[in-house]
Amino acid sequence: LAKTTQPISMDSYEGQEVNITCSHNNIATNDYITWYQQFPSQGPRFIIQGYKTKVTNEVASLFIPADRKSSTLSLPRVSLSDTAVYYCLVGDGTGGFKTIFGAGTRLFVKA
């Protein structure tokens, strides 16, 4: 399984755009990149998933360069409620995917 590396923590202010980068140098051809968000005292929640280039949904955007060795989760205009831990996962798109959550990035949004 490809290992991922993310910053341990990040601080931001309300209204700013936040970009969290994840490194996955050993990503395999079949691997997809998935991001989850976890609030205190809750289970993780799926945010976005992609394979290459750019993916956007109502919550975030995911940018993946051509070599796919990294990815960047972009949160536009964060609010206090975006304070959470964000996990980057890389896994095989075929059956038998074993989920490995790393330490994640703890984002703290200040007023």
Partner 1 sequence: DAGVIQSPRHEVTEMGQEVTLRCKPISGHNSLFWYRQTMMRGLELLIYFNNNVPIDDSGMPEDRFSAKMPNASFSTLKIQPSEPRDSAVYFCASSPGAGGLYEQYFGPGTRLTVT
In our burial notation (b when 16+ CB lie closer than 10 A, e otherwise), range 35-62 reads: bbbbeeeeebeebbbbeeeebeeeebbb
Kindly state whether residue 97 participates in binding partner 1, applying the rule CB under 8 A: yes
Of 47 and 109, nearer to partner 1 (C-beta) is: 47
In our burial notation (b when 16+ CB lie closer than 10 A, e otherwise), range 77-96 reads: ebeeebbbbbbbbbbeeeee
The one among 49, 72, 74, 83 contacting partner 1 by CB under 8 A:
49
Kindly state whether residue 52 participates in binding partner 1, applying the rule CB under 8 A: no
**Residue range at the interface with partner 1 (CB under 8 A); choices 9-17, 19-27, 32-40, 67-75:** 32-40
**Residue range at the interface with partner 1 (CB under 8 A); choices 15-23, 33-41, 60-68, 71-79:** 33-41
Helix (H) or strand (E) holding 73: strand 70-75
Chain residues in the site for partner 1 (CB under 8 A): 31-32, 34, 36, 38, 41-46, 49, 87, 89-104
